[in-house]
């Protein structure tokens, strides 16, 4: 699994000339601001089986972290405080209420909300739902999960869009008197432990469940092309996998997840009745699923990102639960609000959403084995959970990457410029493209920028995966007042039916932005350090101006080539007459 670790460091090599402590301080203002909320018997404790500590470590300190989030931890009931994760210390807000929270739960204060709910009775107040709905409709990202039956419904069961993306009320645990209902338990623990008995603790062994990515397959001429959702891509993974690449195109896809004997299920949202309906709960009334920005006659729904298999046998969990009826089910679902139109009066499009079938995919007992008699998905140097140092397995390293991919994907589009600035800064001084950077002063035309962007994209692909460059460019265009329709165009399947080169556009925009960054950050380290230390937002308008200029060049270059092609075809056709 060194691929996951080394390639992120590959990108960081671009700023190795500066003091690491200075870089950490300078970049803090660009880090995702994430509110993590839980309730009931779930916690953030390191020593609790139902604690989220190992998950917090994975997204903040584990090898492979490239954009450490600024976390706010909150519990809707009581909780000990502070919580230490490595050298980091967090005070936990207790008796948390979304309506009365300080700071307020708005997109000005937070980029994302992550909700891990275990309480299943009643509901949060209408006022709290209103706060979360406003956050979501204003561009904020949300992750939500619960467990079997009604667990998690208290907070998430009535939230817009989320209420349709996951089952919040009706998944059996296996102890029901009605056997026909009990066999519908979702059980992903398909391998018995060393004793050969299927039991609850098998969720804490070193065998994860198999995850089945929901590939999007489209025709490409006489062959097919498959793509995977970005949250399931390891660094180095290909965004589009043509038929000609065979199995090699799928080697860096994430195909594992923690297992559990009674999960819930995630859903796609495709029903016209749901897509065209209004959200009229909690005193609110608005279109729940907005029309597509690129094709307004359609509405943007939610997709199942990955499936799992429920095929467990009778399991010992206090009582012997009956075998389950084998079936596939949705493990992860996602809604991409960036493809939808903004709500009236909003400057940003709706926020993205990810739902998971259970928080057991994130708590200690399923990751490092705490609270069980097993070592989890890894090894403890002392031989038992909590004894010594925990080393994650290759499978758990993949799962950690899924967590971090979710964090990146859920970031609001209007936060792109801060992240993009630092990515361009790393590229500007990167040794792998140093010779190309030296040529920047002579670059003037579209072809020059396309060539520079292609080399820069090669580095980004190695470091972050092939989806990273596409996402960065699309998000930058989405935030451009004059060019945001082209972000939708680059996402459109219709573009594949034209002679327009999508990759050329992406490379050209990246190259133009990198050329501008080369001018913003000079070779002199002291001058560059001062710029990085001060407010980098002062440089953002220059990048925004450049993206508009380089897009004009790209559009004109494409039109000129298309017109020349048309002229040549017309001339040849006339010669045949």
Last-in-domain residue among 369, 390, 410 = 410
Question: Looking at the structure, do residues 395 and 429 belong to the same domain, yes or no?
Answer: no
From its phi and psi, is residue 386 left (phi > 0), alpha (psi between -120 and 50) or beta? left
Question: Looking at the structure, do residues 372 and 277 belong to the same domain, yes or no?
Answer: yes
pLDDT tens, residue by residue, 79-119: 999 999 999 999 999 999 999 999 999 999 999 999 999 99
Question: Looking at the structure, do residues 540 and 469 belong to the same domain, yes or no?
Answer: yes
pLDDT tens, residue by residue, 190-218: 777 777 778 888 999 999 999 999 999 98
The model carries a pTM of 0.91
List Cα–Cα distances, 472 to 199, 222, 510, 541, in angstroms. Answer: 45, 30, 9, 16
Question: Looking at the structure, do residues 124 and 273 belong to the same domain, yes or no?
Answer: yes
Q: Which residues touch 145 (CB under 8 Å, ≥6 apart)?
A: 115, 116, 117, 152, 156, 166, 355, 356, 357, 358, 359, 361, 362
State phi, psi for 202 to the nearest 5 degrees.
-65, -20
Averaged pLDDT for residues 439-466: 88
Residue 10 has pLDDT above 60, yes or no: no
Arithmetic mean of pLDDT over the chain: 91
Residue 235 has pLDDT above 90, yes or no: no
State residue 8's pLDDT score.
46
pLDDT tens, residue by residue, 350-390: 999 999 999 999 999 999 999 998 999 999 999 999 999 99
List Cα–Cα distances, 401 to 83, 128, 165, 308, 423, in angstroms. Answer: 23, 31, 23, 18, 19
State residue 12's pLDDT score.
65
Q: pLDDT over 70 for what percent of the chain? A: 96
Averaged pLDDT for residues 51-77: 96
Question: Looking at the structure, do residues 422 and 569 belong to the same domain, yes or no?
Answer: yes
Residue 243 lies in a domain: no
pLDDT tens, residue by residue, 383-392: 999 999 999 9
Under the banding of pLDDT at 50, 70 and 90, the label for residue 5 is very low
Question: Looking at the structure, do residues 117 and 152 belong to the same domain, yes or no?
Answer: yes
Residue 280 lies in a domain: yes
Residue 240 has pLDDT above 90, yes or no: no
Under the banding of pLDDT at 50, 70 and 90, the label for residue 225 is confident
Question: Looking at the structure, do residues 399 and 441 belong to the same domain, yes or no?
Answer: no
Residue 231 lies in a domain: no
* Range with lowest mean pLDDT among 150-164, 280-294, 429-443: 429-443
Question: In total, how many domains does the chain have?
Answer: 2
Residue 490 lies in a domain: yes
Among the residues of 89-147, which ranges form H helices?
Answer: 126-137
Question: Looking at the structure, do residues 445 and 343 belong to the same domain, yes or no?
Answer: no
* Range with lowest mean pLDDT among 113-122, 135-144, 350-359, 464-473: 464-473
State residue 101's pLDDT score.
99
Tokens matching residue 34: 């994430």
State residue 14's pLDDT score.
67
Question: Looking at the structure, do residues 146 and 65 belong to the same domain, yes or no?
Answer: yes
Residue 6 has pLDDT above 90, yes or no: no
State residue 11's pLDDT score.
61
Residue 246 lies in a domain: no
Residue 296 has pLDDT above 70, yes or no: yes
Last-in-domain residue among 410, 440, 471 = 410
pLDDT higher at 460 or 128 = 128
Residue 9 has pLDDT above 60, yes or no: no
Last-in-domain residue among 363, 392, 410 = 410
Residue 367 lies in a domain: yes
pLDDT higher at 535 or 491 = 491
Residue 88 lies in a domain: yes
Q: Is the peptide bond before 103 cis (omega within 30 degrees of 0)?
A: yes
State residue 532's pLDDT score.
85
- Boundaries of domain holding 535: 415-576
Question: Looking at the structure, do residues 354 and 447 belong to the same domain, yes or no?
Answer: no
- Alpha-carbon distance 270 to 301, whole Å? 6
pLDDT higher at 287 or 31 = 287
Averaged pLDDT for residues 64-72: 91
Residue 185 lies in a domain: no
Question: Looking at the structure, do residues 378 and 454 belong to the same domain, yes or no?
Answer: no
Question: Looking at the structure, do residues 490 and 373 belong to the same domain, yes or no?
Answer: no
């Amino acid at each position: 699994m060194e691929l996951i670790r080394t390639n992120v460091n590959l990108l960081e090599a671009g700023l190795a000339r500066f003091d690491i402590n200075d870089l950490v301080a300078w970049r803090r203002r660009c880090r995702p601001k994430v509110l993590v909320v839980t309730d009931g018997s779930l916690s953030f404790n390191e020593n609790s089986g139902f604690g989220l500590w190992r998950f917090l470590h994975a997204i903040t300190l584990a090898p492979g972290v490239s954009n450490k989030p600024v976390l706010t931890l909150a519990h809707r009931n009581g909780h000990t405080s502070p919580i230490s994760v490595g050298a980091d210390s967090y005070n936990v807000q207790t008796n948390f209420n979304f309506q009365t929270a300080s700071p307020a739960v708005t997109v000005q204060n937070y980029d994302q909300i992550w909700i891990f709910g275990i309480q299943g009775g009643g509901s949060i107040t209408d006022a709290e739902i209103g706060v979360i709905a406003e956050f979501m409709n204003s561009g904020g990202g949300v992750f939500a999960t619960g467990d079997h039956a009604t667990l998690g419904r208290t907070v998430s069961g009535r939230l817009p869009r989320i209420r349709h993306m996951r089952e919040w009320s009706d998944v059996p645990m296996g102890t029901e008197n009605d056997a026909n209902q009990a066999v519908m338990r979702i059980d992903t623990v398909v391998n018995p432990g060393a004793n050969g008995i299927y039991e609850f603790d098998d969720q804490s062994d070193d065998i994860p469940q198999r995850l089945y990515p929901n590939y999007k397959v489209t025709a490409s001429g006489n062959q097919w092309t498959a793509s995977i959702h970005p949250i399931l891509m390891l660094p180095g993974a290909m965004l589009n996998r043509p038929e000609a690449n065979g199995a090699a195109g799928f080697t860096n896809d994430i195909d594992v997840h923690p297992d559990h004997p009674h999960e819930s299920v995630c859903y796609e949202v495709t029903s016209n009745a749901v897509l065209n309906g209004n959200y009229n709960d909690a005193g609110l009334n608005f279109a729940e699923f907005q029309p597509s920005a690129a094709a307004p006659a359609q509405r943007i729904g939610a997709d199942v990102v990955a499936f799992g298999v429920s095929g467990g046998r009778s399991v010992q969990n206090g009582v012997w639960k009956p075998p389950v009826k084998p079936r596939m089910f949705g493990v992860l679902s996602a809604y991409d609000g960036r493809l939808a139109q903004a709500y009236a009066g909003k400057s940003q499009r709706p926020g993205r959403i990810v739902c998971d079938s259970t928080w057991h995919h994130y708590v200690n007992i399923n990751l490092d084995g705490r609270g069980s008699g097993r070592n989890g998905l890894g090894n403890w140097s002392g031989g038992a959970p909590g004894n010594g140092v925990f080393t994650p397995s290759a499978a758990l390293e993949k799962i950690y990457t899924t967590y971090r991919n979710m964090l990146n994907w859920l970031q609001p589009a209007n936060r792109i410029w801060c992240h993009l600035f630092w990515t361009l800064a790393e590229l500007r001084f990167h040794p792998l493209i140093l010779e190309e950077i030296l040529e920047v002063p002579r670059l003037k035309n579209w072809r020059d920028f396309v060539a520079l962007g292609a080399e820069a994209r090669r580095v980004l692909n190695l470091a972050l995966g092939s989806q990273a460059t596409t996402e960065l460019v699309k998000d930058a265009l989405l935030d451009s007042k004059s060019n945001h329709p082209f972000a939708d165009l680059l996402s459109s399947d219709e573009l594949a039916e034209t002679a327009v080169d999508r990759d050329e556009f992406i490379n050209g925009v990246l190259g133009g932005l990198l050329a501008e960054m080369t001018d913003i950050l000079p070779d002199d380290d002291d001058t560059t350090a001062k710029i990085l230390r001060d407010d980098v937002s002062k440089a953002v308008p220059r990048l925004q101006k450049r993206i508009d200029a380089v897009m004009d060049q790209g559009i004109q270059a494409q039109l000129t080539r298309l017109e020349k092609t048309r002229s040549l075809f017309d001339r040849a056709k006339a010669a045949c007459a």
